[in-house]
Amino acid sequence: GNSVTQMEGPVTLSEEAFLTINCTYTATGYPSLFWYVQYPGEGLQLLLKATKADDKGSNKGFEATYRKETTSFHLEKGSVQVSDSAVYFCANYNQGGKLIFGQGTELSVKP
Protein backbone atom coordinates (compact mmCIF):
# COMPACT_ATOMS: atom_id res chain seq x y z
CA GLY A 1 0.00 0.00 0.00
CA ASN A 2 0.89 3.65 -0.12
CA SER A 3 3.14 5.17 2.50
CA VAL A 4 4.68 8.54 3.31
CA THR A 5 7.94 9.21 5.11
CA GLN A 6 8.95 12.68 6.23
CA MET A 7 11.94 13.97 8.08
CA GLU A 8 11.72 13.89 11.82
CA GLY A 9 11.43 17.03 13.84
CA PRO A 10 11.54 19.19 15.62
CA VAL A 11 13.20 21.58 13.21
CA THR A 12 14.33 24.86 14.75
CA LEU A 13 15.26 27.78 12.51
CA SER A 14 15.93 31.46 12.87
CA GLU A 15 13.64 33.92 11.16
CA GLU A 16 14.45 34.43 7.45
CA ALA A 17 16.27 31.10 7.23
CA PHE A 18 15.68 28.68 4.33
CA LEU A 19 13.40 25.74 5.07
CA THR A 20 13.34 22.26 3.59
CA ILE A 21 11.19 19.47 4.97
CA ASN A 22 11.80 16.22 3.14
CA CYS A 23 8.98 13.93 2.13
CA THR A 24 9.20 10.71 0.15
CA TYR A 25 6.40 8.37 -0.72
CA THR A 26 5.58 4.96 -2.08
CA ALA A 27 2.46 4.55 -4.14
CA THR A 28 0.68 2.56 -6.75
CA GLY A 29 0.39 4.83 -9.74
CA TYR A 30 0.72 8.56 -9.40
CA PRO A 31 -1.54 9.84 -6.65
CA SER A 32 -2.08 13.48 -5.77
CA LEU A 33 0.32 14.75 -3.14
CA PHE A 34 -0.44 17.21 -0.36
CA TRP A 35 1.11 19.25 2.39
CA TYR A 36 -1.12 20.06 5.34
CA VAL A 37 -0.23 22.40 8.20
CA GLN A 38 -1.44 22.41 11.78
CA TYR A 39 -0.85 25.67 13.64
CA PRO A 40 -0.80 25.55 17.45
CA GLY A 41 -4.29 25.04 18.79
CA GLU A 42 -5.86 24.90 15.34
CA GLY A 43 -7.17 22.27 12.95
CA LEU A 44 -5.43 20.78 9.95
CA GLN A 45 -5.31 23.08 6.92
CA LEU A 46 -4.39 22.34 3.35
CA LEU A 47 -1.18 24.22 2.52
CA LEU A 48 -0.58 23.10 -1.07
CA LYS A 49 -1.03 20.21 -3.43
CA ALA A 50 0.18 18.75 -6.73
CA THR A 51 -1.86 16.39 -8.83
CA LYS A 52 0.65 15.05 -11.36
CA ALA A 53 4.34 14.58 -11.95
CA ASP A 54 6.41 17.77 -12.28
CA ASP A 55 3.56 19.89 -10.91
CA LYS A 56 4.62 22.54 -8.42
CA GLY A 57 2.23 23.42 -5.63
CA SER A 58 2.68 26.79 -3.94
CA ASN A 59 1.02 28.85 -1.25
CA LYS A 60 2.08 31.47 1.32
CA GLY A 61 5.67 31.36 0.03
CA PHE A 62 5.90 27.58 0.39
CA GLU A 63 6.59 25.37 -2.62
CA ALA A 64 6.78 21.66 -3.32
CA THR A 65 7.41 19.86 -6.62
CA TYR A 66 6.05 16.42 -7.45
CA ARG A 67 9.16 14.43 -8.39
CA LYS A 68 8.22 11.09 -9.90
CA GLU A 69 11.81 9.97 -10.46
CA THR A 70 12.77 10.38 -6.81
CA THR A 71 9.24 9.80 -5.41
CA SER A 72 9.61 12.98 -3.40
CA PHE A 73 7.55 16.05 -2.55
CA HIS A 74 9.89 18.17 -0.43
CA LEU A 75 8.48 21.34 1.12
CA GLU A 76 10.56 24.52 0.79
CA LYS A 77 10.35 28.14 1.80
CA GLY A 78 12.99 30.73 1.10
CA SER A 79 12.54 32.84 4.23
CA VAL A 80 10.58 31.54 7.18
CA GLN A 81 8.73 33.70 9.69
CA VAL A 82 7.84 33.14 13.33
CA SER A 83 4.23 32.71 12.21
CA ASP A 84 5.24 29.63 10.19
CA SER A 85 5.82 27.70 13.42
CA ALA A 86 3.54 24.70 13.14
CA VAL A 87 3.45 20.97 12.43
CA TYR A 88 3.64 20.07 8.74
CA PHE A 89 2.21 16.84 7.32
CA CYS A 90 2.91 15.32 3.93
CA ALA A 91 0.18 13.08 2.52
CA ASN A 92 -0.90 11.13 -0.52
CA TYR A 93 -4.02 9.36 -1.61
CA ASN A 94 -4.15 5.62 -1.85
CA GLN A 95 -6.40 3.84 -4.28
CA GLY A 96 -9.13 3.45 -1.70
CA GLY A 97 -9.53 7.21 -1.33
CA LYS A 98 -7.78 7.40 2.02
CA LEU A 99 -5.22 10.08 2.74
CA ILE A 100 -2.01 8.50 3.99
CA PHE A 101 -0.10 10.91 6.23
CA GLY A 102 3.49 11.12 7.28
CA GLN A 103 4.29 11.42 10.97
CA GLY A 104 4.46 15.20 10.86
CA THR A 105 7.40 17.56 11.25
CA GLU A 106 7.30 20.23 13.92
CA LEU A 107 8.83 23.53 12.85
CA SER A 108 9.81 26.16 15.37
CA VAL A 109 10.98 29.55 14.07
CA LYS A 110 12.80 31.81 16.50
CA PRO A 111 12.93 35.61 16.10
Partner 1 sequence: GAGVSQSPSNKVTEKGKDVELRCDPISGHTALYWYRQRLGQGLEFLIYFQGNSAPDKSGLPSDRFSAERTGESVSTLTIQRTQQEDSAVYLCASSLAMGETQYFGPGTRLLVL
**Which residues of the chain form contacts with partner 1 (CB under 8 A)?**
32, 34, 36, 42-46, 49, 89, 93, 96-104
Q: Which is nearer to partner 1, 32 or 72 (CB)?
A: 32
The 3-state secondary structure of the chain, one letter per residue: CCEEEECCCCEEEECCCCEEECEEEECCCCCCEEEEEECCCCCEEEEEEECCCCCEEEECCEEEECECCCCECCEEECCCCHHHCEEEEEEEECCCCCEEECCCEEEEEEC
CB of 97 to partner 1, least distance (A): 4
Q: Which residue, 32 or 58, has its beta carbon nearer to partner 1?
A: 32
Give 97 or 111: the residue with its C-beta nearer to partner 1. Answer: 97
